[in-house]
Chain A
Amino acid sequence: MTEQVTSAQLEFVERQMKRRRWVTIIRGLVLFVLLGAWEVGARAGLINDFIFSSPSRIFFCFNEMVRDGSIFYHTGITILETLISFFFVIVLGIGGAIILWSNQMISEVADPYLVMLNSLPKSALAPILIVWLGANVRTIIVAAISVAIFGSILTLHNGFSNMDPDQIKLIISLGGSRKDIMTKVLLPGSIPMIVSNMKVNIGLCLVGVIIGEFLVARAGLGYLIIYGSQTFQLSLVMSSIFILCVMSGMMYMGIGMIEKQIKQ
């Protein structure tokens, strides 16, 4: 274990560290220059800050929303709707994929329908959902589920079917049933795939929730964005988009952390 670290290795590490520092610095610089140019452009009247807003306006708007607490309310609603639909997507996705995996007949019958539903733009469904379910939170959640569920079932089922047939043989030769195959090798062996599928799904659920909120909501970040653009409060729109960016990044990172935990 105590191998001599050569000078070439040290030099290599040094160079890599240096490169990484530069990447971080330049990243920060890019953001700074963009925001700076935006701000200066707005103040100098080069761009119309009524339409384009400006970093300082966004900051004040954001500050105001933090002060009156409305930001927590709307962000909370959006997060809650996303998590609820995400939960349903996981449960229904895994459940659906297991059903398809355990019954060849069902899987073959369902395949073309799933493929078609998966490629259908879900925003096209939203008006129907409003008619069927009413303009309420239920519609938002169903819309979000519909965005992610079909792809999730297809991906998971595909992963399940690619399982090593010899592992199935092993379980049967040890006297196991189909249930044993599922609980002993299929599910535990698929956890990395399920988690990476979750990473995609959380993003898709957020997309679905925002689509839903555009159409029916009285609250949430999607509602703020629509409301802001209709009343020409572009700072409000920009602030909401900014929060949305941070939120989706954090959700993605959260699942990344779960993934890391599992890999250990």
Chain B
Amino acid sequence: MIPKLEVKHLSHSFHSMDGETRALSDISFSVKKGEFLAIVGPSGCGKSTLLSLISGLITPSDGEIWIDGNKMVGADPRIGYMLQKDHLLEWRNIFSNACLGLEIQKKLNEVSKERVRKLLMTYGLDAFSDMKPSELSGGMRQRAALIRTLALQPDILLLDEPFSALDYQTRLAVCDDISMIIRSQGKTAILVTHDLSEAVSVADRILILTKRPAQIKTTIPICFPDNANSPLLRRNCPEFSSYFNDVWNSLREGGVS
């Protein structure tokens, strides 16, 4: 089967007057349709850069990205990118924030508006449609940001530490919430996180990167019993801590100098 997303020998360097920063070096991996991939690695190793490359925000110095068996050129509507902060615009209400992407792509019509309304309803935000972002809690804002991304109906979601701005309690709940939403919609997702337990609790596979310039150190497949189908349930499984240790150990190996 053709993988949903295929990254082939991707390398990237940033250039400035002070010199060259090599961020990624020869990264290759592929993601199946509907798979949830987590990426962990030391701070500053190039994780955000990797997502920016996949989203088409920046062009790689070297290497290729393929989607559905076709080479990707520039930003692709099949990819949705969720940033660390929600960046809801304060001068728009929740509904019009959720419509921002549609508006930009000139796809805002009655059908798509109805879709946004339905999404807001499904994820418990319909009562807040007319409110300003500042009137919502951190978790609700993050959900609104997800709806803004989902409204464009992307196949692949890129999530760059989407929960790190939240406090721990909310973070667990929102992570549970959002990963369930993504799974129920059958989306393919790539999550970058610093939180190893978060990675273990949501992912089907974890990619571990080395220090900058990032290379793939190992890949750890995660497999939980079928009944443990939410991050919170997974955290209570006996397998959880052994996976956690695996990830922790392979991150540490030669990682901390």
Contacts and interface: CB of A to CB of B under 8 A. Distances in A.
B163 interface: no
A104 to B, nearest CB: 14
A176 interface: yes
B83 A166 contact: yes
Contact of A167 (B80, B87, B91, B148): B87
A170 B105 CA distance: 13
Interface in B68-89: 75, 77, 80-81, 83-85, 87, 89
Given A173-B57, A175-B75, A175-B77, A184 B104 contact: yes
A169 B89 contact: no
Interface residues of A, number: 17
Nearest to B77: A175
Contact of B101 (A174, A188, A191): A174
Contacts of B91: 188-189, 191
Interface residues on B, range: 10 to 19
Contacts of A170: 83, 87
Given A180-B104, A184-B100, A184-B104, A173 B55 contact: yes
B37 interface: no
Q: Is the interface of B mostly helix, strand, loop or mixed?
A: loop
B140 to A, nearest CB: 18
B83 A169 contact: yes
Contacts of A185: 89
A169 B75 CA distance: 12
A257 B104 CA distance: 32
Contacts of A169: 57, 83
Interface string A159-184: 00000101101111111100010001
Interface string B58-71: 00000000000000
A175 B87 contact: no
B38 interface: no
A173 B104 contact: no
A167 to B, nearest CB: 6
B75 A188 contact: no
Contacts of B80: 173
A188 B77 CA distance: 26
A185 to B, nearest CB: 6
Contact of B89 (A166, A172, A188): A188
Interface of A: 164, 166-167, 169-176, 180, 184-185, 188-189, 191
Given A169-B57, A191-B91, 8 more contacts: A167-B87, A170-B83, A173-B55, A173-B80, A175-B75, A175-B152, A184-B104, A185-B89
7 contacts: A169-B83, A170-B83, A174-B104, A175-B75, A175-B105, A184-B89, A184-B100
